[in-house]
Amino acid sequence: MKPILVFIIYIIGFMIFYQTMSYINMDEKILFFLQPNPAKAKNVKPIKQKEGDILTPKDAKKPLKLTKQEIGRNAWALLHSMASAYPNDPTEEDKQNMINFLKGLAHNFPCKICGKHFVKLLEDNPIKCDNREELVNYICDIHNSVNKFLKKEIFDCKKAFDVWGGDCGCSV
């Protein structure tokens, strides 16, 4: 076989493999191996996002620094930690602040797909924040809805507080 033909088959094979992996959400893990180590390379170009993954303003010259997965992971970490630190006996002001925060976060979420999903989740599942346990379970449940949608493992919500709660070491 001619070398050029082998090269073309190789490129097509790689493209099919990459597309399949990104379809099943493995793109980030694969790109991790293809990326230079950010600690060693200073002028690393950011990973190119797939169109629609990220709310990139029309005037933006480059994709966001973080991928959809990184933004999602960090957002969940904040949401679970906040729920775990929420008062057992919140005031009406505490409750309203939490409702405003969740709605505001959903509307301003930097990843368009996740933001739309978040707004819909809040519409379909009215926020429950009468006490800490209720909010911990609520955030766990909406995370599980997204897990289900993305065909990820369902988390046991009985473990949510043990996993995410605790002393942050920053008491006032």
Residues that bind ligand FAD (CB under 6 A): 68-69, 72-73, 75-76, 80, 113-114, 117-118, 140, 143-144, 146-147, 150, 152, 155, 160
Q: Please identify, using beta-carbon distances, which residue of 27 and 95 lies nearer to ligand FAD.
A: 27
Contact 155, 145 (CB under 8 A): no
Question: Which residue of the chain is nearest ligand FAD when measured via CB?
Answer: 72
CA atoms within 13 A on the CB side of 41: 8
* CA 85 – CA 63 distance, rounded (Å): 33
CB of 88 to ligand FAD, least distance (A): 19
Q: Please identify, using beta-carbon distances, which residue of 11 and 74 lies nearer to ligand FAD.
A: 74
Q: Please identify, using beta-carbon distances, which residue of 132 and 143 lies nearer to ligand FAD.
A: 143
Q: Please identify, using beta-carbon distances, which residue of 23 and 42 lies nearer to ligand FAD.
A: 23
Run of H or E including 58: none
* CA 157 – CA 138 distance, rounded (Å): 9
CB of 95 to ligand FAD, least distance (A): 20
